[in-house]
Amino acid sequence: MTVFLATVLTVLFSVTALLALARLYRGPSLLDRVVAADVLLNTMVGAVGAEAAVNRHASTLPVLVVLSLLGFVGAVAVVRFAVREES
């Protein structure tokens, strides 16, 4: 059962990451690319969290915290930059 669950999660996270990469490459505006990068980072957080849950270990918790903080700070910084450019 665990191998099946890990396979399904791997496929779902891979498809999500590929779609986010496609939007990151094709995005017509800066904000589209920022949202795609945020989705990609959140996909990575989900994949690391799923891996920790499937293998039943908590040693990746600091990695999850750092990735989450990086995503939040990066998104806020880019939005502040985009707001300054519009005015």
φ/ψ (deg, to 5) at 14: -65, -45
pTM of the model: 0.84
Query: Which phi and psi (to 5°) does residue 76 adopt?
Result: -65, -40
Residues 39-77 have pLDDT tens digits of 999 999 999 999 898 888 889 999 999 999 998 998 888
| Token pair in block for residue 69 | 């903080």
Query: Tell me, what's the pLDDT at 1?
Result: 66
- For 52, counting Cβ atoms within 10 Å of its Cβ (0-12 exposed, 13-18 middle, 19+ buried), the class is middle
